[in-house]
Amino acid sequence: MRRMIRIISVLALGLLTLVAGQAQQTQVEVEQILMDTPSPERARQWLFSLTEEPHVAGTPAQYKVVEFVRDRFKEFGLETEMVKYDVFLNYPKSVSLRMIQPREETLSLVEEVYSKDKDSTPEGQFPAFHGYGASGRAVGQIVYVNYGAPSDFDRLKDLGISVQGRVVLVRYGGAFRGLKVKEAQDRGAAGVLIYSDPEDDGYMRGDIYPDGPWRAASAIQRGSVQFLSTQPGDPSTPGYPSTAAARRLSRNQMETLPKIPSLPIAYAEAEKLLRSLGGPRVPDAWQGGLAFAYHVGPGPAAVELDVQMDEAIRPIYNVIATIPGSVEPDRWVILGNHTDAWTPGAIDPNSGTAVLIETARSLSAALKAGWRPRRTILLCGWDAEEYGLVGSTEWAEDRAAELQAKAVAYVNLDAAVSGNEFGSSGVPSLRDLMRQVAAKVPEPRRSGAIAVSWERRLKEAWASSAPVTVDGAEQTFELQLGRLGSGSDYTAFLDNLGIPSLDFGFGGANGPYHSVYDNFFWMSRFGDPEFLFHQAAARLYGLLAWRLSSDKITPLRFSNYGGALMEDINAIRTDVIRRARMAEGQAFKPDFSSIVAAIREFDTAGHEVDRVADRLASSDNNATIARFNDALMQVERAFLNNEGLPRRPWFRHQLIAPGLTTGYAPWPFPGLREAVEKRDRAMFDAEAKKVVAAIKAGTEKLRAAK
Amino acid sequence: MRRMIRIISVLALGLLTLVAGQAQQTQVEVEQILMDTPSPERARQWLFSLTEEPHVAGTPAQYKVVEFVRDRFKEFGLETEMVKYDVFLNYPKSVSLRMIQPREETLSLVEEVYSKDKDSTPEGQFPAFHGYGASGRAVGQIVYVNYGAPSDFDRLKDLGISVQGRVVLVRYGGAFRGLKVKEAQDRGAAGVLIYSDPEDDGYMRGDIYPDGPWRAASAIQRGSVQFLSTQPGDPSTPGYPSTAAARRLSRNQMETLPKIPSLPIAYAEAEKLLRSLGGPRVPDAWQGGLAFAYHVGPGPAAVELDVQMDEAIRPIYNVIATIPGSVEPDRWVILGNHTDAWTPGAIDPNSGTAVLIETARSLSAALKAGWRPRRTILLCGWDAEEYGLVGSTEWAEDRAAELQAKAVAYVNLDAAVSGNEFGSSGVPSLRDLMRQVAAKVPEPRRSGAIAVSWERRLKEAWASSAPVTVDGAEQTFELQLGRLGSGSDYTAFLDNLGIPSLDFGFGGANGPYHSVYDNFFWMSRFGDPEFLFHQAAARLYGLLAWRLSSDKITPLRFSNYGGALMEDINAIRTDVIRRARMAEGQAFKPDFSSIVAAIREFDTAGHEVDRVADRLASSDNNATIARFNDALMQVERAFLNNEGLPRRPWFRHQLIAPGLTTGYAPWPFPGLREAVEKRDRAMFDAEAKKVVAAIKAGTEKLRAAK
């Protein structure tokens, strides 16, 4: 019944496209299709199929998953291609870990099987290893170094303990795991073990698998140890695409990969080592959730770890469906989610892939009802994300010029559902769009729209943490998107190419992260048993694709961008003031005035251009609109600098990057932040010039739009 | 050799007291004696004797300890008396605790014996019980309610769980234990178990006894469950002294004692109950340090607890030594520390008692060298502090009129040494004195004076937590004493009588608090193996006694008092603004302007009076000086109001009190704070009037001094 009304309406539209009232009617209809089509049951079916086997990049199992996605897109009537790259990948040939002091014991590198959960078997599954980890053998005493951050290693040094020639035991959390290995390697360690502490995602957070969603004692967090914040993508072709004919670096030449061996381990195994450490008691913040007082070591616990990798150039496949634009076909709106997984990967990434497929089905339904997007939509399944954003990076490098000319926005998914809490990160110019779309979709478990509970949660965090001044005017809360760091496929689009990017998802008790328990049993029991959040994510994704592709005026809005930049720069200024408090005479006091002035100008221009956008909304002059849209698209590009960031030229965006020492977490104004960390005034001044130039270039683009 | 120089100097002094240069010389000499006399070895001896047995108030063992203190004072040549009161005390006649669901098991109420530590034996020791706990039997399912704060019980209610007729299991920490029992009782619980969670003072903090200083799995925190924030002292004589002839309330009439039974238990026992709880997983902040995910219950764990008390009126003994003043004998400087202990009590209180004895020896040495204090010094050992500050409160009530007329200051010790971190709380008018004295005494383990590391530690905490504003002027750090809450013997002096009070000590890993492991073995192994911090504490105590008793101008300084009050009122204003952030239209916005204005006036008068003090320092007009000193002494008295605080009239100080729901932690501006918590505008306005009147009365006293 509902379907029939749609067809009638679309027929009417065919006759009356120039009548504004009717165009409005169509918009309501398209929105309704994109709201009505996504189905929990379909998402459940897609997820069930996608998670049938572990599907690591480059394996036959992953090829089957890519084909499955391609076949769905085709089945929905979308023009779809597979894009192959040949990239460097490693698999474990043999891995072993033995405690040799104070007693001999072989430590487990596989997970416990739970009879309720058929997918918890290690069968068809690699044992514990690190993507891009080095081959090697290390024998040495254990030293515990908390999260393995540079500040943790500094603290260890203050305690008079060296990691030289020893095996560093660190816990997951904080920085991207590859940067833990990098820091240990730079400080002379012989090897690294990274374990999951129960404080961080085990029983201290809630009931553990299979009784609850949190990490079981035997669960192992696999993952890549690439030095992600220096450069992602295939390490054999840094900065250029991994086509068949590409020139390759040898393993030894790959500077973004570790030289020392590392392994991920479960807390059941780590406990045996930690309980056997002497030396000083750890600094308070290093204590984790195991039921004894942690010590730093070194020793007496000692281990032998032996890792031999099977390294080769292997084929990977991105799958890309295209929905051509009717008015601006050379303007692209890109949606993407990766397809490869370390394990069955029900959360990561297949909740996202299931949502991507369901979104494709939903857009296809709108197409069948007569809708044609103004701009071209690309739906992308990226391969080998888990190794280092490889599929998306190689494609972005391959198509760089075209993307810079054509891409309006990139919207990423990855692990779309691990719980019920909506969150979104992105460039500030996409904040209004995300909020509008989230206001359309009902929250599955609460009354009201997703936007309502999202805003309430962020406002509560703000209310309890934002400083209060008794004499000044009370600050008001402004909803902002999180800033994008790295760890997913938006990285090349935003940081290398300056394409406005957005990421969202429903987070929660992601205890099984990168373990075999990230599987269909977990999702259907704990994560999203009714698949209502998958449905909600597909609604959001479809509405975002629709608005970005079909709004006459591209929905990039700039009134909020200056304010967001001011928040970011003030966070750095606050940090500088705080550090100066204990520095007495030697305080580092850089000059922020030129940056603040540049942001103010950008802010003014942003407000003006949004007023122009409001005016143009009623225009029918396609040439004027296209010029305006192009200018909006170019603002983010203006923030790039071809020199890139200090010692990481691939990262060209001057206003945002993954933290050099965090990987995952963003550093707004990355050059300034690095200079502040190093207390380097000359570097600060040089980076400030680049930042001011970038902001001014953005301001020029805004002014050009008017 | 050093001693001989002193005698010569004192002889010279006898001839030349009117020569200013020589008077200066004497001061330097007295200071030297008070620095040189305290000896680590003597402190060690005193502690060894004091901790020979557990010595609970009213027992023969405690009488021996009081005699020991008296005999030392007498041995040093000090005029000493024992002051007896007859007070209500309880001992356990029989206590038992049995888990009855999901299995039958008797839970232990005694601690494990460690062969290395002869004092860890339960022999001569009461089993686990609560001072002033009720007799009774309770059978019911367990419900876990975190720290048992009112907000915890509210949260439980939000989860839809009632404690009615059930046995509440709460952890130690936060509020005074009696207030946990009160809250559970008010909400209908049948009984209460309070356990020590390893997150709070067990292995999550460091190595546990006997390998380290922190709480062992079987250690039990005894203690009083009086409703301390309503009224301390003997509950059979509320507000008046427990003399032999005093009229007595019956047990049922004692409104500050619980009616439902309670017991303290160890985490080894609590774990058995917690592991057997179903129901919802706890809110995140309720998770403790045991190695599983906590649940709220109710049940299936259920217990039977049976507590039968032996209650009676029993004799207690304060011991008081007097050093008469030479110029202002009717002005008293009071030093006090309690003598009773739940167990051997090496930290609590005997580190303080050892320091008090060593201070007495040191003052005695100065007396022998010819020094005579200008004002009278009283050295007091209080009995039955552990039950509810009973000895000090009864004495203060007994001597109230005289104390209000004569007491210049009260300096408290209690658990003087449990580690190395110096801390001090007190009225702001004693801040300068404490800082000056701490600048004289070397830190035993670091270079520099105690004042240096004290200030650095506080400044570091300020630097990392105080808000930063990027546009305003950076705040500067101002060292402040902590505010006095309750939980020790300063309470009657400050809160009931308005006597300027001070408390200090060296804190640290106080894991054995109120357990049998708080004994000499612990102190000599972990707390202060060389007794250097005992020595430092005796130096500080001696110097404080000397300055307060002998400075011509009483060392009460007021330039800082207004600033401290402003900090306190701003903390409440900040809290109001923060709460208003989520309240939308219904924000509670009381008017602070009259209070702020009153503080500003007080601040101005404080600065002026300090300038007068500086001028008078060179005066020899004893009458003028005495008038000035009397005015200074009266400022704190002016903050009292005979109505007292809402529903707790014994607490008469309008600017400071123990928190109604915290007991230990202070509430500055307690009436205002309570009104803010209740969002009661009428109450706020009424309390604001009382506060303004109190501050104005203080300002009048300051002006009278000029």
Instruction: Please state, in angstroms and rounded to a whole number, the distance separating the CA atoms of residues B65 and B53.
Output: 9
Inter-chain residue contact B477 with A287, CB threshold 8 Å: no
Contacts of B570 in chain A (CB under 8 A): 470
Token pair of B361, please? 């020896």
User: Residue A381's beta-bridge partner residues?
Assistant: A319, A337
Interface test with A, best of B282, B469, B478, B567 (most A CBs within 10 A): B469
Token pair of A120, please? 């918890």
Confidence of residue B19 (pLDDT cuts 50, 70, 90): very low
Contacts of B198 in chain A (CB under 8 A): 291
Q: What is the pLDDT of residues B276-330, one digit of tens each?
A: 999 999 999 999 999 999 999 999 999 999 999 999 999 999 999 999 999 999 9
Confidence of residue B394 (pLDDT cuts 50, 70, 90): very high
Position B147 pLDDT exceeds 50: yes
Low-confidence ranges of chain A (pLDDT < 70): 1-25, 472
Instruction: Please state, in angstroms and rounded to a whole number, the distance separating the CA atoms of residues B191 and B137.
Output: 8
Instruction: Please state, in angstroms and rounded to a whole number, the distance separating the CA atoms of residues A299 and A484.
Output: 40
Confidence of residue B587 (pLDDT cuts 50, 70, 90): confident
> Could you tell me if A285 lies within 8 Å of chain B, comparing CB atoms?
no
Beta-carbon count within 10 A of B101 CB: 16
- Given A364, A653, A674, A687, the catalytic residue: A653
Our measurement of the distance from residue B140's CA atom to the centroid of its chain's CA atoms, rounded to an integer in Å, reads: 35
ipTM score of complex: 0.93
CB proximity list for A539: less than 8 A, separation 6 or greater:
A34, A35, A38, A362, A440, A441
Mean pLDDT of chain B: 94
Token pair of A31, please? 């929105």
The full 3-state SS of B182-249, as one line of letters, equals HHHHHCCCCEEEEECCHHHHCCCCCCECCCCCECCCCCCCCEECCCCCCCCCCCCCCCCCCCCCCCCC
Contacts of A206 in chain B (CB under 8 A): 281, 293
* Gap from B477 CA to chain A (nearest CA, Å): 9
A593 is catalytic: yes
Q: Which among B206, B464, B474 has CB closest to A577?
A: B474
- Given B418, B653, B674, B687, the catalytic residue: B653
Helix (H, G, I), strand (E, B) or coil at B591: coil
State residue B291's pLDDT score.
98
State residue B121's pLDDT score.
83
Strands (E) across A212-290 are located at 223-224, 262-265
State residue B6's pLDDT score.
38
Instruction: Please state, in angstroms and rounded to a whole number, the distance separating the CA atoms of residues A243 and A257.
Output: 21
What percent of chain B has a predicted confidence (pLDDT) above 70?
A: 96
State residue A10's pLDDT score.
40
State residue A468's pLDDT score.
87
Token pair of A316, please? 């990977």
* Gap from A267 CA to chain B (nearest CA, Å): 12
Inter-chain residue contact A578 with B462, CB threshold 8 Å: no
* Gap from A224 CA to chain B (nearest CA, Å): 29
Tell me which residue of A272, A285, A361, A282 sits closest to A323, measured CA to CA.
A361
For A:555-574, CB contacts with B below 8 A are 570, 573-574
State residue A4's pLDDT score.
35
Residue pairs between chains A and B whose CB atoms are closer than 8 Å: 87
CB proximity list for A555: less than 8 A, separation 6 or greater:
A430, A432, A433, A436, A547, A548
A421 is catalytic: no
CB A133 within 8 Å of CB A94: no
Q: What is the pLDDT of residues B254-283, one digit of tens each?
A: 999 999 999 999 999 999 999 999 999 999
Contacts of A581 in chain B (CB under 8 A): 459, 462-463, 474, 477
CA-angle at B504, arms to B498 and B510, nearest 5° = 125
Q: What is the pLDDT of residues B444-483, one digit of tens each?
A: 999 899 999 999 999 999 999 988 888 767 788 999 999 9
* Gap from A465 CA to chain B (nearest CA, Å): 9
- Given B385, B386, B397, B674, the catalytic residue: B385
pTM: 0.94
* Gap from B458 CA to chain A (nearest CA, Å): 11
> Could you tell me if B205 lies within 8 Å of chain A, comparing CB atoms?
yes
Q: What is the mean pLDDT of residues B507-529?
A: 96
Token pair of B186, please? 């008010």
Token pair of B126, please? 């009461």
B236 is catalytic: no
Report the phi/psi class of residue B302: left, alpha or beta, with left for phi > 0 and alpha for psi in -120 to 50: beta
CA-nearest residue to B278 within chain A is A207
Query: B298 preceded by cis ω (within 30°)?
Result: yes
> Could you tell me if B284 lies within 8 Å of chain A, comparing CB atoms?
yes
Instruction: Please state, in angstroms and rounded to a whole number, the distance separating the CA atoms of residues A109 and A128.
Output: 5
CB A274 within 8 Å of CB A169: yes
Beta-carbon count within 10 A of A619 CB: 12
State residue A12's pLDDT score.
42
CB A628 within 8 Å of CB A553: yes
Inter-chain residue contact B467 with A472, CB threshold 8 Å: no
CB A78 within 8 Å of CB A360: yes
- Scored b (16 or more CB within 10 A) or e, B646-660 reads bebebbbbbbbbbbb
Q: What is the pLDDT of residues B160-201, one digit of tens each?
A: 999 999 999 999 999 999 999 999 999 999 999 999 999 999
> Could you tell me if B588 lies within 8 Å of chain A, comparing CB atoms?
no
